[in-house]
Each structure stands twice: as C-alpha cells, then as structure tokens.
Amino acid sequence: MAGQILGPDDLQEMKRGGSLVALDCSWKKCDASFEDVKRKSPKLFPRTLPLVLAANEVSWGNLGRLSTVEALAVCLILMGEREQAEKILAPFRFGEQFLELNSEPLAAYSEAKSNVELVELQWEFFDKPDGASG
C-alpha cells in the first residue's frame, strides 16, 4: 500500500532518530485504517516490505500476509537490528519458524546496499508477478 520499500536508503533517517511504527489491525480493515493513520499523522513516511512468507497460524505460507510482529521483525532486520527482531518474535509460537522460513531472503535483504537492489533481490526468491516493476 505504501508504494516505497523500506530498506538501506532509510537507514540514515533511523540513525538520526527515526522510529518504526506498525499498524496493528485486521487485514479486512487495513485500507481504512491505513488511510486514517495517514490523515492523522502526515509526518509518517509509509513504507512497504520486501516479500517474505508468513508463519503465523492465520496466514501460514502466504506471501506478504504478515502479522504485525512479523512485519516489525522484518523492519528491524532491514535496519540492522536482527537481535531485537529475534526478541520481539520470541514470545510467539511461530516466531522462530518465521525466521527459519525466511532465512535466505532475510539474509540477502539485510545485505542489500540500496532500496533498488532490495526490490530486485525479491525476485531471486519469489516469482515476479506479471506487470510488476522493479
């Protein structure tokens, strides 16, 4: 929904004190919730995540259909905070499985040098949809 991927190009903003904000809502209400947050918080910079598989009980194996904690863990890994990602996933039954299921793409994503490179890396692990750019 955000259009721009979170990646290495955002690292400088994080080092200057930027924060990660996760929207915890039902997938059924995601569009309305996202629009509400954008309207109320114009200083947020929406980002999307590179492709990974969900490991949570509701969406196991679905591409990109992550729980909030899975999404936040991906953000932390992309920002070089793997240990913190592991800590927030630890209380969840699927936490370790999420990291195992996505170990190869997450390792590659964390080594990307730019957001453009990160977008291209996705297609080494997942099928590129017809008409997808980047």
Q: What was the pLDDT predicted at 47? A: 86
Taking only the tens place, the pLDDT of each residue in 12-46 is 888 888 777 776 767 677 677 667 767 766 677 77
Give the pTM. Answer: 0.84
* Mean pLDDT over the full length of the chain: 87
- Is position 119 within any domain? yes
- When divided into structural domains, the chain yields a total of 1
Instruction: Answer for the pair 78, 7: CB distance below 8 angstroms, yes or no.
Output: yes
Q: What was the pLDDT predicted at 128? A: 82
Spatial CB neighbours of 64, under 8 Å, sequence gap ≥ 6: 49, 51, 52, 54
The residue written with tokens 């200057």 in the block is 16
- How many Cα atoms are found within 13 Å in the side-chain-facing hemisphere of 81? 17
Of 88, 64, 84, residue with least CA distance to 2: 64
- Is position 104 within any domain? yes
Instruction: Answer for the pair 57, 65: CB distance below 8 angstroms, yes or no.
Output: no
- Is position 27 within any domain? yes
- Is position 134 within any domain? no
